[in-house]
Structure 1
Amino acid sequence: MNRRRLLTGATALATGSALPAAAPAAARTTSLPSRTDVIAVLRRVADHWIAAHQDPGDNGWANATFFSGLLALHRLTGSPRYLTYARNWAEKHAYGLKGGVTTRHADNHNAGQAYLDLYEIEPEEGKLAAIEASLHRMVYTGRPEKNDDWWWDDALHMAMPPFARIGALRGDPRYWDKLYALYHHTKRTEGGPGLHDKATGLWYRDKRFLPGGILSPTGKPVLWSRGNGWVTAGHTKTLKALPPGQPHTAEYRQTLVHLVSAVSRVQRQDGFWNVNLADPDHLPGPETSGTSFFLHGTAYAIRAGLVPRSTYLPVVARAWQGLVTTAVHPDGFLGHVQNVGDRPESSQPVTYDTTADFGVGAFLLAGTELARLDP
């Protein structure tokens, strides 16, 4: 994406290899920004995206992630502008799903998260017709014994929350049972051992990256930042929807805690996370989408009392400072977003001028969760 380089108060990067030097960790703040300051940045980023996209776009997984973040910001601020923009998007697509109601693909279910948000704000049953019909087929009528649909870790973000939320809304635990069956396959069975590495708490993107498969150029494992970010967000959103006593809630909590603990140990000095969590020399540089999802999940874990506040507040504070000082342009454009892909090499180089709808959505989710933390 070509954008102007001379921006007041910002340092533009000429190429993807010209990266800002990370400050020593001790020089980076560990105090939380004020809620007012966080909201001001979130509004600037959201307003820039909306102004640049008069057509709100399709209802695919990437754009649906943006609207999940935008509606989180609406809940935080009450801004009617954000609600109107999201409502217009959903109505443009008649609250439908890519692939129709027969789809089993997790990516196609992601739009259902925003539709559920809009339903909660303005309840009308038609808003849920497509997402509920599609999940109902998987639970009850369309090969309910089939549980291998989620073969990549991104799927946990796209589809775990809709199953959790429809089950809660309808008071039907069968949706939660199906959610766990799909999740269990991804975690423990897919590719043989499952995509979850119990030793580290991190997740492989899909079976191609399991031990013995694809490695980094220096022979280290490939544990993709955004893939783990999707997993973090999937657990976070699911835990928000499930009642505390639901049988699998404890496992989801434990898995999220293990994951945010693991990523806290490999956070960069500048607050970001590398695109390959297992190899800091594999395409090093700041990357916004994975960092935003880790900030989102860690801030939630603090607020929910799942991790020690004193230990993890510096993690989210450094992440936020890194994002707002390095990735957010003065006009609200959000840079350093790795675009669509499935591994660190995808959509490279990642620069100050690369962005994407799902990256903006992840940033809005992160900031709204951070703003809810007490100073």
Structure 2
Amino acid sequence: MRNKTKYSPDYTLLHYLLYMFMLAGCTIYPYGYVLSSTIDKHSTKSAMKKVADWQIGNFRYSTIGNLHDYGIDAWTNATLYIGMTEWAKIAGDSTYYHWLTDIGLAGNWKLAANFASYPKYRMYHADELCIGQFYLNMFDLYGDEKMASSTIERLDWIIDNPQDSTMLISNKQSWTWCDALFMAPAVYAHAAKIKGDDRYLEYMDREFKRTYNFLYDKENRLFFRDSSYFDKTEENGEKVFWGRGNGWVAAGLVNILKLLPENSAYRPFYENLFREFIPRLATLQSPTGFWHASLLDPESYPSPETSATALITYALAYGINDGLLGKEEYKPALKKSWDALLSTIDKDGKLGWVQPIGADPKKVTGDMTASYGVGAFLLAGSEIFRINK
């Protein structure tokens, strides 16, 4: 099927046919699949393997140029490794652990190749910490100190050298954009678990709440991407709430909650936010099972958006698995979103409809993919697989 935009008559017809199929009790998706809303361990594992294998076979990273977005330790690829680590636990195949270990060795298990001369704001930059989640996950598996030492060193330096606390988006020393709530907090929570030192949690909690208080719209129960969107509106007059940006927060909450002890004094805030925020996202799911690039103006961005959908699906499944969301109430939405995600996998295993790197809603086409989208899909799959136990 050719990629269509919202201005294409054929694309409009496709959506009309989509709704007619839905009225008839069927579901049709962008690649033409008609799927049942069933979740089973075998098909989940098969889909995860297909996507993981395609991504490994087509994995590339830059060694010059924009390493912040495309280097081996970039946030984009770090998200892939986080998801791939969860897949490796399910796969029962050491091939994936070998691949992940090779990635760590290639990056020397370090946050940034040239620690001493990195520009100061990037010493704090949340995106640059995302790879630490992967390193600490690998430390948990192998217990090799070199896998964790660079990450712990960076966190210690940040805590000992207070950052500029200005919350405008121009300041990257603080977590001034909502994506940061996926990139950095879980690294601190994991360090606290490894080191048995609450100062990492104290820092994480303080900084998370500063971002929450600044970017969370309590009326809409959604996060602005950053301060530059406070006064912007979509074509329909609604506020701009980016699908993937809110997906980052949803998945970030999961990763924090996975690491916080059940009796932690910090836990109630994150559980309460989860119970408020994730159900709100569930109300914004489209009839096709996807979430769109713009949460409150899906008509301007009618295309599926896989990365937002995968991140939110991850949170929904976790919420059901851990009792934060009612299974009977939320499993139908989960089934729809998982079917939607499965429909974006082509015959070779390429995951499509992933919005490229950005900060706001953008148009998406079926041939667009990205490593962070695959990582998000594998995270979602890992919780979907768990739900069948």
Same fold (TM over 0.5): yes
Question: 279, 283, 290: which is aligned to 2:297?
Answer: 279
Structure 2 contact 49–91 (Cα < 8 Å) conserved: no
Distance 1:367 1:47 in 2: 14
Distance 1:225 1:181 in 2: 25
Q: Which residue of 2 aligns with 1:3?
A: none
What's the CA shift for 1:134?
0.8
Q: Which residue of 1 aligns with 2:30?
A: none
Distance 1:358 1:116 in 2: 18
Structure 2 contact 190–259 (Cα < 8 Å) conserved: yes
Deviations 1:215-238 (A, max 9, x none): 112321110000000000110000
What's the CA shift for 1:254?
1.2
Change (3 A) 1:147 1:100: farther
Q: Which residue of 2 aligns with 1:14?
A: 3
Amino acid at match of 1:45: V
Q: Which residue of 1 aligns with 2:162?
A: 143
What's the CA shift for 1:282?
2.1
Distance 1:84 1:374 in 2: 27
SS at match of 1:352: coil
Distance 1:261 1:155 in 2: 21
Q: Which residue of 1 aligns with 2:91?
A: 77
Distance 1:121 1:357 in 2: 23
Q: Which residue of 2 aligns with 1:134?
A: 154
Question: 213, 238, 243: which is aligned to 1:220?
Answer: 238
SS at match of 2:156: helix
**Greater mean deviation of Cα atoms: 144-153 or 218-227:** 144-153
What's the CA shift for 1:351?
1.1
Tell me whether 1:48 sits opposite 2:54 in the alignment: yes
Q: Which residue of 1 aligns with 2:327?
A: 309
Gaps in structure 2 of 5+ consecutive residues: 28-34, 63-70, 168-173
Tell me whether 1:179 sits opposite 2:197 in the alignment: no
SS at match of 2:215: coil
Distance 2:195 2:263 in 1: 17
Gaps in structure 1 of 5+ consecutive residues: 1-11, 189-193
Question: What is the root-mean-square deviation in Å for CA atoms of aligned residues?
Answer: 1.9
Alignment of 1:322-333 (within 5 A): 322-325=340-343, 327-333=344-350
Tell me whether 1:118 sits opposite 2:138 in the alignment: yes
Alignment of 1:324-363 (within 5 A): 324-325=342-343, 327-345=344-362, 348=363, 350-363=364-377
Change (3 A) 1:125 1:146: farther
Deviations 1:266-315 (A, max 9, x none): 11111101111111222211110000001000000000000110011011
Distance 2:254 2:2 in 1: 34
What's the CA shift for 1:242?
0.6
What's the CA shift for 1:369?
0.8
What's the CA shift for 1:144?
6.8
How many pairs are equivalent?
A: 352
Q: Which residue of 2 aligns with 1:9?
A: none
What's the CA shift for 1:34?
0.7
Give the alignment's TM-score, normalised by structure 2: 0.86
Distance 1:38 1:311 in 2: 21
Change (3 A) 1:257 1:30: farther
Identity percentage over the alignment?
30
